[in-house]
Amino acid sequence: MFYSSKGAAIGGYDTVAYFTAGKAQRGRSDIAVMWKGAMWLFSNRRNRDIFEANPRAYAPQYGGYCAYAMSKGRALGTDPESWKIVDGKLYLIHNRTNMKVWVRNPPQYIVLSDGNWPEALGH
C-alpha cells in the first residue's frame, strides 16, 4: 500500500521523472497506472512505460511515506518537492524543514527507517 494524496501516489507527481529529469514533475491523469493500490501519474508515456517495466526501481521507499518520520517510527505524508535519491532509491520527506535535517545524514536515517518499516503503519 502506498501513501496517496490528491487521489494519486506522490500527490500526482511522476516518480520516474525524479530519476530521469532530476526534478519533481507533475504527472497527467490521462497517463496513469494502477499499482499496489495507488494510481501513479506520469508526465509522458515513456516514463509510464519505464515504470511499468520495473515499478519497484522507481517507487519511493517506505510506501511513499516520509523517510524522516519513518526513522522515528511514524508514518507521515510527504511533499513531492522534498525528495532525494540515495543509492538509486527515491526518498520523500514531509516538508522542507524535515528535509534540511534528513539530508545531514541520510545513511543514518535510512537505517533507522528500514528498521521501522512497515511496522510504523500499524500492520
116 and 73 in contact (C-beta within 8 Å)?
yes
Grid cell, residue 109, equals 536515517
Task: Give which of 47, 54, 53 is closest to 32, Cα–Cα.
Answer: 47
Residue 83 grid coordinates? 525528495
Q: Domain residues for 44?
A: 4-58
Give the DSSP letter of residue 13.
B
User: What pLDDT, in 10s, does the model give residues 84-122?
Assistant: 999 999 999 999 999 999 999 999 999 999 999 999 888
Question: What mean pLDDT do residues 1-23 have?
Answer: 93
Do residues 66 and 50 both lie within one domain?
A: no
* Model pLDDT, residue 104: 98
Could you give the number of structural domains in the chain? Answer: 2
CB contact at 8 A, 41 and 8: yes
- pLDDT tens figures, 32-79: 999 999 999 999 999 999 999 999 999 999 999 999 999 999 999 999
Per-chain mean pLDDT for the chain: 96
pLDDT band at 123 (very low <50, low <70, confident <90, very high): low
Residues 25 and 51 both lie in one domain:
yes
Q: Is the peptide bond before 107 cis (omega within 30 degrees of 0)?
A: no
Do 108 and 86 belong to one domain?
yes
From first CA to last CA, the distance across the chain in angstroms is 11
Which residues, listed in sequence order, are joined to residue 32 by a DSSP beta bridge?
41
